[in-house]
Every structure is written in C-alpha cells, then in structure tokens.
Amino acid sequence: MRILFIDSNHPLLHETLEKAGYTCDLNYHWSEDEIKSNIHLYDGIVIRSKIKITKEIIDKAVNLKFIARAGAGMENIDVTYAESKGIKCLHAPEGNKDAVGEHTIALLLSLFNNICRADKEVREGKWIREGNRGVELMGKTVGLIGYGNMGSAFAERLKGFGVKVLAYDKYKKGFGNDFVIETILEQIFAEADILSLHIPLTDETKYLVNNSFINKFKKNIYIVNTARGKCLNTDDLVKNIKSGKVLGACLDVLEYEMTSFENLDKNNLPEAFQYLIQSDKVVLSPHIAGWKKESNEKIAKVLAEKIINLK
C-alpha cells in the first residue's frame, strides 16, 4: 500500500508504517495542483492542515482507501463525501487530549492569577501586588460543552481544584463519572462561572457561542476556547467583555484563522481582534493547546495503529 504524506509529521509515523510494509512518500512541499495530479497513485494520504480535502480532490483519488489526519479536528476533510466513496477517515484525538487538558488549565490559571500581566510588569521593574490580586478557581462551577477526548481530559485535570464540573454533549449520554456531572444546557446556563468549549467545528457548532448564547447565563462568566475559533463569535465576545457579562476569556483558537495560525494576516487584523490583543482580560495562544513534544509522538503512534488496523 502506498501512502502520500502531504504534511510533515513526527517521523515515528512513517517509520512505523514502513516497518509494517507500507510505502511512504514524504511530499511535504507539493502544491495543491501537484497533489491533485498525483493522488490517483495512492491508497492513503496523511494530512494535517495544509489543504482541504474537497470533493474535487476525492474524485481524483480513485484508489484512495483512507484519509488520516494527524490531529483531532476533521473540518478540512469532506468526511461525508469521502465515506460515501468508501474512504475511511481517521484522526487521532487520543494523541493530544492530555496536552489540551493541561493547556486549558494553564490558560485559565494564567487568566485568574494575572500571570501574563504580572510577568510583563516585573520585567519592567514594576512591583504591583494589589493591582494583580487574582481569583481562585476553587469553588467555581465549570461548564463544558462537549465531552469527548478533550473535554474529558480537561475535566480530569480539574479534579483537584475543588470545582464543580458540569458537562453537556448533544451526542453522548451516560458519561457522568467521578470527574463530571452530565447535565443539560439549562443547568450550565444557570450555574456556570466558566464556560469551556470542547466541540468540533461543524455547520451546527459554527458561532454556537454568540451574543444570545452568552446572555443565557445567569452569572457573569469566563469563556475558554481550545476547540475551534469559529465556534465562538468574536465580535459578540468583545461586546460582552466590554459590557462586563464576560469577565475574561482564554483563547487558543481564533475565528480569523484559515487552516492554521500561520495564515493570519498581521497587517489586516479585524477590530475585535485588535481589542483582544490589547485587553488584559484575555489570554491568547496560537493554536498550540495540543502542540506538545509528547503529543506529537503520541499522535503518530495512535494514527499508525489505526492505519495498520485497517488491513
């Protein structure tokens, strides 16, 4: 079986597959036209975020048996069309769930304890204690939307903080455990101090969190998004930060991303983003929640196993 690697990955992935008898072509620098011209030669492709696997590409991939994404999200693959053609679509959320769980904790604690601002001030020779008085996580109620690999990893890491964790997942039932209380959205609206998103980007979840959604919460809240940028309407987020309804936000992802943060146009930043980067009520990171040294290797291992198990 011949596999085309469109994006670079941890070498463990192609090395494991080659040991299992696969031929791996590492054509990371191919253009989209080159991919379209040659994809008919391959039984499988491995991608990250370089291109979208569209109907047009799938129609040219006449011998394709699988599409494997080295990561969690599948929004850059037309999964429905691929599967209608008998092509298996694989991903590896098990590989970076621990990284995302830890990073989400880090963002939240940084926000609550003014870490970014305080660090900057100390480096400037400023010693401001009262102005950096923080907020404890203990005693808060955290509401999770989505309880898959990422949501459950975050919930597990919240266990020692003395918080109440509520989770709603439209497509899962019976998942309540020692880490989380399974619930309905209405309870999250009524009780949550913190909203954390752990959902894929789909037509259903695009801009799920907008002005109307935010104002269904009884309390003023903090919002954490380590899922996908377009699950949260940034204009509405800024509007509610300004009004005080949103007390702060932790964002690893932004709706302005194309397929990766590298495509963000620094010379043409939207007004809402200009506000975010100037606000000390916001902690930002460049889509790196799942981007750890260990998770890179774990993703490779998980994906290799899934590909081999297709035989």
Catalytic residues: 228, 257, 287
Alpha carbons 51 and 38: distance in angstroms, whole number: 15
Q: Are 65 and 310 in contact (CB under 8 A)?
A: yes
Alpha helices in 23-92 (DSSP H): 32-38, 55-60, 79-84
DSSP secondary structure string, 278-302?
H-TTEEE-SS-TT--HHHHHHHHHH
In the numeric block, which tokens belong to residue 70?
């080295």
Nearest partner of 92 among 160, 26, 16, 33, judged by Cα: 16
Alpha carbons 219 and 287: distance in angstroms, whole number: 28
